Every structure is written in C-alpha cells, then in structure tokens.
Amino acid sequence: MSRLVIVSNRVAAPQQSRAGGLVVALDAALRDTGGVWFGWSGKATRDGTQAVQHARAGNVEYVTMDLSEADVAGYYDGFSNRTLWPALHYRLDLVEYSRETHVVYRQVNARFAERLATLLRPGDRVWIQDYHLLPLAGELRARGVDNPLALFLHVPFPPSDLARALPNHASVFGAMAAYDLVGFQTRRDCENFDAYLRDATDSGEIALRAGRPPPLTRAFPISIDADEFAQAARRARGSAGVRGLRDSLGGSALAIGVDRLDYSKGLVEKFQAFGEFLRRHSGNTGGLTLLQVAPVSRGGVRSYRELRHELERIAGHINGRHADPQWTPIRYVNRNLGRQTLAGYYGAARLGLVTPLRDGMNLVAKEYVAAQDPDDPGVLLLSRFAGAADQLGGAMLVNPYDIGGVADAIDAALRLGADERRERHAESLRSLREQDIHWWTAAFLDALDARGTSRSRATTA
C-alpha cells in the first residue's frame, strides 16, 4: 500500500500529547502505511530563519518548518484568521482584507510546497488539512508533483456569491481546483463549492487546468470515537471534580456550553437567550445554571477582544439581575479544561447548549451525546447551522438568531420526560457509532484511492 502524507498547519509531533480524536485517527492512518506528517512547527523566528526539523516514530516521519515572525503575522494571524476565517463563516462584515497578508499567505504555501515536494515519492497519497493551505495543491502541481492530492476543509464553505466577493478569490478558492478530491463537512458545503467553481468558470474568473478534471467533491462528516469518549465520561463521574461541581450546584440543574471564544460560536446570542429564559420562565429561577467554558483564542485580533468584553458585560448584567446569595445563573470560564474533566462535566449536565451561528461540524455536540448516561441522558439543544445537525437526529434543533425561540426551547428541554430523553439520545448515539472518527478516516482515504485510480486510467487512455 502506498504511503500517506498528511499536511496540516500544525503538526502533532510524537513527543506531544495526543488526546484529540482527530490527531489519534490521523496518526493511526499514517502508521498503517508509513508516511510523513508535514507542517509548521509553531515557532516564529525573529531572525527570519526557517529551520526544518525531523523526528521519527516507527514508520512515520514528522517534518516541521519554522516560520519568521513576519510570516506568522501575514500567513496565520493575518490572512488565515482575519480574512479567510470570517469569509468562510459567511461574515464578510468582519473580513479584514490586505493585499500584503494575501501575498504572504501565498508565499508561505509556496515554501511549504517547495519543501514538501522533496519529501514525496511516486505513488504517495497527500492529504492536506484545512483553510490555511488552500493553494498548496496548485503550488505542488507547479513543481511537477503528480501524486494524488486531497483537501479536507474542516470549516464551512460559503455560497458562491459570498466566496466570489473576496478580493482575488481565484488565487485562493479557485486554486482548490488543483486537488483530485475535496472533502467537506456537509452536502451544503459541497453544493456551495461546486456552484462557486461553476460560476467562477462561466464568468472567466478562473480557468480549470486543461487535461485535468475538476476535483471530486464529497461530504465526509468528521466525528469522534464515541465509545472511547463514553468511557472517559464514565471514569470521570465519580471524580472529585465532578462531585465538587454537583455539590456546588445545590439543587440546580446544569446546562453546559463549551466553545472557543469566537464570533462564529453564537456566544452573545446564547447568553441573551439564557437571560431571556430566566425572564420568561421565572418559575425556573435558581433551577438551572449555565456553565460556559470559552477559552480565549486569537487575542490579538480586535474583533475577538471586543467579543470577550461584550460577553463579560452580558454575563455580569444577567447575574446582577437574577442571582441570589445561593445561586449564580452564569458561570463563565475563560480557560481550557482537560478532556477528562470536560467529559465528566458533559455527563453531569442536564442540557447541552451548542448554538453556533455557523459551524463546519462542532464536535462538542457529539462529545456531549457520547458522555451521557443512556439510562438518564441529558438533552442536546443544537443550532441548525452546525454541521452536526445533519447527523444528530435526536437533538432539539434551534435557530440561534431567534433569542426567544432558544429561551423557550431551554424550558421545553427541561420538561422532557425520561422516555423521550432516552429515545432522543439513542437516535443520536446510533449515528455517532455508525460514522465515527475511524469511519471518517477510512471513507476519505477510500475515496482518494478510487479517485487516484480513475485519474490514472483517464491519463493513460
């Protein structure tokens, strides 16, 4: 079997912690065939040096490149996170476009391609991860690489008109046509990208490469190892941390939200909906506590700093209005909690509030389902704009923009009887087990192998 080469913005080196399900799954796929994991080291050098590091664990080589501080500012902090991230999440109002950061983004991708091309062997399959590396296939093709190249986009892809509104979109989104396979989280994302290629080609904004068919596009909803996460939750149930949380609640039920501090996660709307729930359903005063874990990310970006201040203001207002000496409505935590701790907290929560304004998938929703006690499960309230809504049929779907609707859904979820809660949980858990993280990896690589075979036949015909 041919080697697998994985390329990602950051590389999980063998000596680092590997708690995340995605990292474990990709590492297992690499070990099955042998191969290379390539990407940025995470180091930013002041002198501009771009050292390359090599490490090996068994039949897998880990190759990382340093970037200069200027590269990180332009490629990562700038174009990837200030431009592409909001554009891909439908937020053109938050896009900060700069020709300078766009140039650096393309330059870094070109340097990655130059180094990666020297590592590839004939027949290697190359699996590239996410929006930081959209032009990488085109850069590799320009250097004569003819290996099967695939991209998985972990975030949404916007409708054609929004994608084409990005300045110089052809050099980023149009460059994705150089892949053999592009995987998305949902069918909607596939349809949006297919429409973009069609519209941009018809208008002459991009030109597909002669002799090479457009990429195959498919939905591969990413997931978790549901059984493994359920075991982690069971181990955590009797832990001191979970017992302490339960004791601190008194007689209050727990609602939990775990989101990176990001405007796409709908945190402002979630807090507003929880406040509206307390106002409309005052009979529940003291009966439900929201624990919101929101680790700070991209603190150097102005919109993220403003979001943090707004959340602190809203939480303070709600707590000041509704709290009493024995009960605080919102517990707001701005730091990471360990995976085992979170698994225990999920299992202790009567409600899971996962209400992003737009999300590629949202694995927190799946972790919440996996962590529940099947005999007495909690209820997941899930945004219909999260990719996970296509799979978790037992969730109560909500529109996060409808503040009053979410408030009423919280009340309705608290009133569900045990039989309905068990039915809803069983339906969602069945989907998780049928399409887990191992299914995701195998399905994607099978599609890439089939695409590579069909392309080879077309080339030799």
- Catalytic residue numbers read 154, 359
**Amino acid present at 302:** R
Structure tokens at 216: 């195959």
Nearest Cα neighbor of 196 from 123, 293, 88, 346 is 88
Distance CA 360, CA 370 (A): 19
Contacts of 225 (CB under 8 A, 6+ apart): 21, 24, 25, 436, 437, 438
Distance CA 293, CA 335 (A): 7
Q: What stretches of 42-186 show up as alpha helix (H) in DSSP?
A: 69-71, 85-88, 99-119, 136-142, 160-164
Distance CA 227, CA 239 (A): 19
CA 169 vs CA 84, 164, 228, 296: distances in Å: 10, 6, 41, 29
Treating both helix axes as pointing N-terminal to C-terminal, what angle do 418-434 and 363-371 enclose, rounded to 10 degrees?
A: 120
Give the three-state DSSP class for 88.
helix
Contacts of 237 (CB under 8 A, 6+ apart): 344, 347, 348
Distance CA 23, CA 11 (A): 9
Q: What is the DSSP letter of 149?
A: E
Q: What is the CA radius of gyration of the chain?
A: 23
